A and B are shown apart, each in its own frame.
Chain A
Amino acid sequence: MGLNEGRLPGGGVTSRPGGLPLVGAGGPTFLTTKVDFVVNWARRNSLWPMPFGTACCAIEMMAAAASDFDVARFGMERMSFSPRQADVLICAGRVPYKLAPVLRRIWDQMPQPKWCVSMGACASSGGVFDAYSMVQGIDTIVPVDVYVPGCPPRPEALLYGLLMIQEKIREESLARHGEHRAEDPLRAGTPEATEEEVAGLTGPFGNSTRQNRVGGLVRTDRPDRPDDRQP
């Protein structure tokens, strides 16, 4: 991809051609764009992932790190098993509520700049586990930059997600540092999503359990699978 092209791999168009100065009122200056270019180049090519693998997605994540797919080609030289040295949190697998504070604390322990990949259906939305014990998407707990769909995603999909993180870093600017990197220390350990957002994310999509939250059992007679979905 050429420097002046301004196209992103997902089909989007960037407003700022990489590395070239934009001169104008309120815009980034010549100096900051050049520093941005160098800083972003260094950051995006030395991302260290923090693996938070809890299920089968973690097997694919290990495959992505092993020699066939080799995530080290893209600067993710090693998995950083300590949050203090990590740049990207890869949450691979389902997260039960009992694990939610652990995930949040690991995220809070990672120093800025940091990014988060939600790998697989369960981490992104709860997946098939629409149950009492399961977090319905880790974006209720931590801010997520890239969602990788799949059950589990192939290693190529994870690599593509990490490359999208790299493209996101390319767009960041020191001049807009507060916008990208602001973090309220008082919010450490608290849910990322508001109550309304959680309610919107986790509305009933219809499961075949003949149960609702208010009354427990809706019906106790014989199951009638196609029609027993509650509104």
Chain B
Amino acid sequence: MTEREPALARDSALDAVEAGPSAVSGAPVRLDEASASHPSVDALRARFGDAVRHHEVSAGDQHVVYVDAARNREILGWLRDDRAAHYDLLADVTAVDFGAGRPLQVVYQLWSMRHRRALRVKCELPLSHLVIDSVEPLWKTADWLEREVYDLFGVKFSGHPDLRRILMPENYAEGHPLRKDFPLRGRFSRAEQTRRALSQDPHDHYIPAELEIGRDPQAAPGAPRQHPEPPAKRPSTNRPLTRGK
């Protein structure tokens, strides 16, 4: 297979998938300030200087600005509060792993409802140190979005109030599935995955008050709730896989 590679090299449309954006000709163009500018990026450069790494335009009009990961909360907080920027809506928090040891990108998609303007902010994290400040204090919507990034990529958001898995089962122990070094079928055998799936027990991961949420639709919202004693733990289903009889 290795010797056939040069033949495949140029024409494969999958090159872009493998190599990531910056190695592909024609895809996002790096811009200097003269050719195209975004008012918020100019303001960021003026205020934060070197913390703004570089700026590019993707898909025609989507401005992407790379900032220093260590100062993400300061910069995003300024983008939210500054009257000229005023990015009051955090539309999405996600991450990209390009594989091949390249740094993992944490992506913040911002929207300013006042100025009707979008800005994408990216922070690059080395795979050896996936820690970044949480922006949950700035936008409450980041709570679940950052939990999702933690669950699927393993990025630790310091300062997050409740950093737990959100999509994968609570007892999932195979790692973070969207990382490029994660095998597609998971790390455990199918039998072990099936056994673990059926031995999920919500009582292991939630306090009784959380399990009561939504159980009594007649109760007035906000009314103090009488929590019953936690139910006696049912016999564990964590038995070895054997047929009965």
Contacts and interface: CB of A to CB of B under 8 A. Distances in A.
A224 B4 contact: yes
B194 A100 contact: yes
Interface in A193-218: 193-196, 198-199, 201-202, 207, 209, 211-213, 215-217
B6 to A, nearest CB: 10
A130 B198 contact: no
Contact of B182 (A132, A135, A191, A222): A132
A223 interface: yes
Contact of B191 (A97, A100, A195, A221): A195
Contact of A213 (B2, B167, B187): B187
> B-side binding surface: helix, strand, loop or mixed?
loop
Chain B's interface size range is 35 or more
Given A189-B198, A194-B242, A225-B14, A97 B193 contact: yes
Contacts of A136: 190
B244 A184 contact: yes
Interface string B184-201: 111111110111111010
B186 to A, nearest CB: 3
A222 B5 CA distance: 7
Given A184-B245, A190-B241, A191-B194, 7 more contacts: A97-B194, A98-B197, A140-B190, A187-B243, A195-B191, A207-B184, A222-B18
The 6 A-B pairs of least Cβ separation, nearest first, read: A132-B186, A184-B244, A97-B197, A202-B190, A195-B191, A198-B191
Interface of A: 97-98, 100-101, 104, 130-133, 135-136, 140-141, 184, 186-187, 189-191, 193-196, 198-199, 201-202, 207, 209, 211-213, 215-217, 220-225, 227-228
